[in-house]
Chains A and B, each alone.
Chain A
């Protein structure tokens, strides 16, 4: 009971803090300095219609690199913890009947569409909402639908690892090329900026975002596949 009282006390303190914050908060009516800079300059400097994309890929490109690294580490830790390869042959022996005909046919119909939507989301990341992370999550959702339809489906681990590492390599390679041929690491002006609103615009941002999308999709997929190949304890 004393633990619960402590918890309530802590939450009460936190709540008071929040109320204090809320009472003293005055909403902005104008953009602050950074926001104004991004709003005014990203169209000419970066050439993206979606300013969030400009921030993620170029202005704060190193943060994104760090984020991708964190995801990579997470996927690796999940893989190590679950120890795939130890019971590769055994996992296929689980006795599960297949799902009903409707779900099977429906998933065959929907999976290509989900993959197409994922590709659309990350290729158009500089024009419409979305980008590499969303597209990667959508692609992983397609893998998830396959797993839900048939939990025993076997996926090629080495293919997922290959997609992940190759796209990561190209992401960094493009960033390094930017040091030599453009303004700096992950500078997008390797290619001409093009016209605002066209698909081939904003320099290398669509290419970078495609690689990020493939990488994130492969990372999430490897987490899903690793988890699904664990044994029923």
Chain B
């Protein structure tokens, strides 16, 4: 019974589907309003997804690799404006070195800031002076800005609340200076110098 219902529906929807595929050149999304990725970005997305697939399966066996290629290709075609970690990544040796240094710096900052926050939490008086300061960033690429905001957020003590053009609004547990340039040097400059080499 279900089968018949499904077949009926299928026949009805088949004509619709042909129209749909013509109408929406990109299958799932309405892309009239948002930027389409070029071939290079799609290739990058495809490779990243394939890498994740291999990591998920934990094996390089041929069968799972073939299935991974099919799945990644399907997602790349369907979700054409997707980003990946390496979109807009400059594939130069300096960028790779900067990437490694960035992660080392990031984890160092993460642990340092965690200890600082631990001292605040454990001290009975809670020596905090919260406030929202405004800092400036020079980064232009979407991934670079996302990574910068995420890095600032993940370091305890600072929390990105809004990005508006070149301005970042950052909530700090202890505000050290309200001057824009000084706050920029304290909060942003460390991450930015690496991210600028990586993403531009």
Using Cβ atoms and an 8 Å threshold, which residues of chain A touch B61? 198-199
Using Cβ atoms and an 8 Å threshold, which residues of chain B touch A169? 3, 6-7, 10
A156 contacts B67, C-beta separation under 8 Å = no
A161 contacts B13, C-beta separation under 8 Å = yes
B10 contacts A158, C-beta separation under 8 Å = no
Which one, B13, B30, B76, contacts A158 given CB within 8 A?
Answer: B13
Docked Cα-Cα span, A108 to B29, in Å, equals: 12
Given contacts A102-B160, A112-B75, A120-B57, contact A172 B9 (CB under 8 A): no
Docked Cα-Cα span, A184 to B19, in Å, equals: 38
B146 contacts A105, C-beta separation under 8 Å = yes
Given contacts A113-B52, A156-B20, contact A162 B45 (CB under 8 A): no
Docked Cα-Cα span, A200 to B78, in Å, equals: 25
Using Cβ atoms and an 8 Å threshold, which residues of chain A touch B14? 162
Q: How many residues of B contact A (CB 8 A)?
A: 49
A109 contacts B6, C-beta separation under 8 Å = no
| A88 CB, min distance to chain B CBs, angstroms | 13
B79 contacts A111, C-beta separation under 8 Å = yes
A161 contacts B16, C-beta separation under 8 Å = yes
Which one, A112, A165, A198, A200, contacts B82 given CB within 8 A?
Answer: A112
A18, CB-defined interface residue at 8 Å? no
A159 contacts B71, C-beta separation under 8 Å = no
B91, CB-defined interface residue at 8 Å? no
Among A112, A162, A166, A200, chain B packs the most CB atoms within 10 A around the CB of: A112
Using Cβ atoms and an 8 Å threshold, which residues of chain A touch B74? 119
Docked Cα-Cα span, A107 to B108, in Å, equals: 27
A35, CB-defined interface residue at 8 Å? no
A123 contacts B71, C-beta separation under 8 Å = yes
Docked Cα-Cα span, A123 to B70, in Å, equals: 12
Docked Cα-Cα span, A115 to B24, in Å, equals: 20
B177, CB-defined interface residue at 8 Å? no
A159 contacts B20, C-beta separation under 8 Å = yes
Which one, A65, A120, A155, A161, contacts B53 given CB within 8 A?
Answer: A120
- Cβ-closest chain B residue relative to A163: B17
Using Cβ atoms and an 8 Å threshold, which residues of chain A touch B19? 158
A100 contacts B82, C-beta separation under 8 Å = no
- Cβ-closest chain B residue relative to A69: B2
B114, CB-defined interface residue at 8 Å? no
Docked Cα-Cα span, A154 to B49, in Å, equals: 25
Docked Cα-Cα span, A106 to B145, in Å, equals: 10
A100 contacts B10, C-beta separation under 8 Å = no
B72 contacts A116, C-beta separation under 8 Å = yes
Docked Cα-Cα span, A168 to B9, in Å, equals: 10
- Cβ-closest chain B residue relative to A127: B57
- Cβ-closest chain B residue relative to A200: B63
Docked Cα-Cα span, A69 to B6, in Å, equals: 10
Given contacts A105-B145, A116-B71, contact A165 B6 (CB under 8 A): yes
B154, CB-defined interface residue at 8 Å? no
| B135 CB, min distance to chain A CBs, angstroms | 15
| B142 CB, min distance to chain A CBs, angstroms | 5
Docked Cα-Cα span, A120 to B57, in Å, equals: 8
| B189 CB, min distance to chain A CBs, angstroms | 20
Using Cβ atoms and an 8 Å threshold, which residues of chain B touch A155? 28-30
Return 25 A-B CB contacts under 8 Å, by A number: A68-B2, A102-B149, A105-B142, A109-B82, A109-B83, A112-B45, A113-B52, A116-B49, A117-B56, A119-B75, A120-B53, A123-B67, A153-B30, A156-B20, A156-B27, A159-B20, A159-B27, A161-B9, A162-B13, A165-B6, A168-B2, A168-B6, A169-B6, A199-B61, A199-B63
Measured CB to CB, the residues of A under 8 A from B are: 65, 68-69, 72, 100-102, 105-106, 108-109, 111-113, 115-117, 119-120, 123-124, 153-156, 158-159, 161-162, 165-166, 168-169, 172, 176, 198-200
- Excluding A158-B20, A159-B21, 8 further A-B contacts by CB distance (< 8 Å) are A108-B82, A109-B84, A112-B82, A117-B56, A153-B29, A159-B27, A162-B17, A169-B3
